[in-house]
Amino acid sequence: MNSRKIIISACLIILLGVFWFSWKSDYPQRKQPVEKSLSSEKSDSTTNLQSSGDRRPPVFNDDGARKPEGMSDADWQRAIRMHSIKNSANRSVNFYGKVVDQHDEPVEGVKLELKVLSYQDSFIDYLNTGREQIKNRFTMFTDKNGMFSVEQKKGTSLAIEKMTKNGYITPGRGTKYNFVYNNLSSGEKSSMYHSPDRTQPVVYILWKKGETEPLIKTGAELLIDPSKGVNEAYYSFILNGKPSGTPIPGWDIKVTGKNLRSQDKRKPEDDYWEVTLTAGEGGGFIMTDSTHTNLAPEDGYQKSVTFKSTDQASLKGASIRRAYYRGKNGAKYAAFRFRLGIGGRKQKGMFYVMLADLRINPNGSRNLEYDKLKRIK
């Protein structure tokens, strides 16, 4: 009985030895560090990125990228995009900026709070979160020439979260602080692409505070519903003024709108809309891209301004642009942020026209610098 157990044990030892030798002989190939292929990362990420094409990764060399034989064009384009995302995770972020006041004088000692973002090292992280992750936060100050620079930080993009100094008004809402250092789809031809240049820094303007005057600070939201036949509304720049569907004596702004839907619901590109702001008698508007609207211009005002769907920049620009208003014979001046929303079919094509951060100087002065202690209530 003991001899039988010895024979069985010996056989098991031999079998284990054969298995170990076979595994050991294949070990060098498996031990080699293999970079996770782009196509493998793609198939692990999400099913809607998969296709039936060749899963082999692209070959990158000194001459660029070469598509593997047999790989479909769709898989090739996705592989190139993922390669760009992965490589951009630790790209050197460099940026040069300058801060000046409204008189173009450099501002020293401006505190800047910044952050560098990254896709980290995995496209999977990006898919899971839908956004870049904060990789590094830091603070710096402008020098005597108003200059600041960010050099050799690792990541994909840079964001300036705050820009402050006592005695100065910082840029208003809508100011773009984010710079994309490697646009993944359009490259240098994209408006989001930024190429750092020490000799041509990005300029920011802080407003040096001056003497303020009493202002009315309010806002207005005008709602137009073309489906009900109401295609215009009126707004009066008076304290606690309310939008109205009928003309107001001495009204300041009339808002009119059209929202024509295509007869073919499958062709939303055939929809047409337009919104027009018309000033009251003797009044006018100036649309501006300035980050500060603390001093209204003397002239250059237009009786009306119109935004149309056929103008590609209308809807996008309207949500971030600012405007000045001048009343009859300069009796009053105002500034506001103009925001426009166009409702879809489910919203019955309604317009949402907002005049946000509306500051009114009723004393005929162009000074629109706001001081909450002098607010007219």
What CATH code is carried by the domain that includes residue 130?
A: 2.60.40.10
Residues whose CB is less than 8 angstroms from the CB of residue 54 and which lie 6 or more positions away in sequence, other chains included: 39, 68, 70, 71, 72, 75
Among the ranges 33-42, 84-93, 253-262, which has the highest mean pLDDT value?
253-262
Dihedral-angle region of residue 282 (phi above 0 means left; psi in -120 to 50 means alpha; beta otherwise)? left
The mean per-residue pLDDT over the stretch 42-51 comes to 36
Residues whose CB is less than 8 angstroms from the CB of residue 99 and which lie 6 or more positions away in sequence, other chains included: 106, 107, 110, 142, 146, 148, 163, 203, 204, 205, 206
Boundary (domain end) residue, out of 175, 208, 241: 208
107 lies in the same domain as 220: no
247 lies in the same domain as 155: no
Among the ranges 10-19, 179-188, 292-301, which has the highest mean pLDDT value?
292-301
358 lies in the same domain as 310: yes
- pLDDT above 70 (res 188): no
Boundary (domain end) residue, out of 191, 208, 225: 208
- Please report whether residue 344 resides in a domain: yes
242 lies in the same domain as 326: yes
Q: Which of 4-13, 202-211, 310-319, 367-376 has the lowest mean pLDDT?
A: 310-319
The residue among 187 and 214 whose pLDDT is bigger is 214
Which tokens go with 175? Answer: 């100011």
159 lies in the same domain as 221: no
CB atoms within 10 A of CB 14: 10
- pLDDT above 60 (res 59): no
261 lies in the same domain as 287: yes
CA 178 from chain center: how many Å?
Answer: 7
Cα(153)–Cα(181) distance, integer angstroms: 12
116 lies in the same domain as 192: yes
Cα(66)–Cα(85) distance, integer angstroms: 18
DSSP H/E element including 319: none
226 lies in the same domain as 367: yes
pLDDT band at 273 (very low <50, low <70, confident <90, very high): confident
Among the ranges 57-61, 268-272, 298-302, which has the highest mean pLDDT value?
298-302
Are residues 288 and 323 in contact, defined by beta-carbon separation less than 8 angstroms?
A: yes
- Please report whether residue 152 resides in a domain: yes
CA dihedral (25, 31, 35, 38) positive or negative: positive
> Which has the closest alpha carbon to 256: 248, 265, 245?
245
The mean per-residue pLDDT over the stretch 321-343 comes to 87
8 CB burial (10 A radius; 0-12, 13-18, 19+): exposed
- Please report whether residue 120 resides in a domain: yes
What is the domain range of residue 360? 216-374
| Pairing mode, strands 304-308 and 322-326 | unpaired
DSSP H/E element including 184: none
- Please report whether residue 129 resides in a domain: yes
Instruction: Supply angle C-alpha 317, 190, 157, rounded to 5.
Output: 95
Are residues 355 and 235 in contact, defined by beta-carbon separation less than 8 angstroms?
A: yes
Provide the whole-model pTM: 0.67
Task: Report pLDDT for 310.
Answer: 78
pLDDT band at 283 (very low <50, low <70, confident <90, very high): very high
CA dihedral (278, 279, 281, 282) positive or negative: negative
- Please report whether residue 11 resides in a domain: no
Task: Report pLDDT for 37.
Answer: 39
181 lies in the same domain as 236: no
DSSP H/E element including 275: strand 272-279
- Please report whether residue 286 resides in a domain: yes
Boundary (domain end) residue, out of 174, 208, 242: 208
Task: Report pLDDT for 113.
Answer: 92
CA 230 from chain center: how many Å?
Answer: 34
The mean per-residue pLDDT over the stretch 125-129 comes to 55
Residues whose CB is less than 8 angstroms from the CB of residue 203 and which lie 6 or more positions away in sequence, other chains included: 97, 98, 99, 100
Task: Report pLDDT for 53.
Answer: 38
How many domains does the structure of the chain reveal? 2
Alpha-helical (H) ranges within the chain are 2-31, 38-45, 73-88, 123-129, 314-318
Give 99's strand partners: 204
Task: Report pLDDT for 257.
Answer: 84
Mean pLDDT taken over the chain: 75
Task: Report pLDDT for 206.
Answer: 93
Task: Report pLDDT for 126.
Answer: 54
Cα(374)–Cα(370) distance, integer angstroms: 8
Cα(210)–Cα(218) distance, integer angstroms: 22
263 lies in the same domain as 368: yes
204 lies in the same domain as 252: no
- Please report whether residue 239 resides in a domain: yes
132 lies in the same domain as 255: no
- Please report whether residue 347 resides in a domain: yes
Q: Which of 24-33, 65-74, 196-205 has the lowest mean pLDDT?
A: 24-33
* Residues of the chain above pLDDT 70, percent: 61
Are residues 182 and 81 in contact, defined by beta-carbon separation less than 8 angstroms?
A: no
Are residues 211 and 351 in contact, defined by beta-carbon separation less than 8 angstroms?
A: no
CA dihedral (184, 187, 192, 195) positive or negative: positive
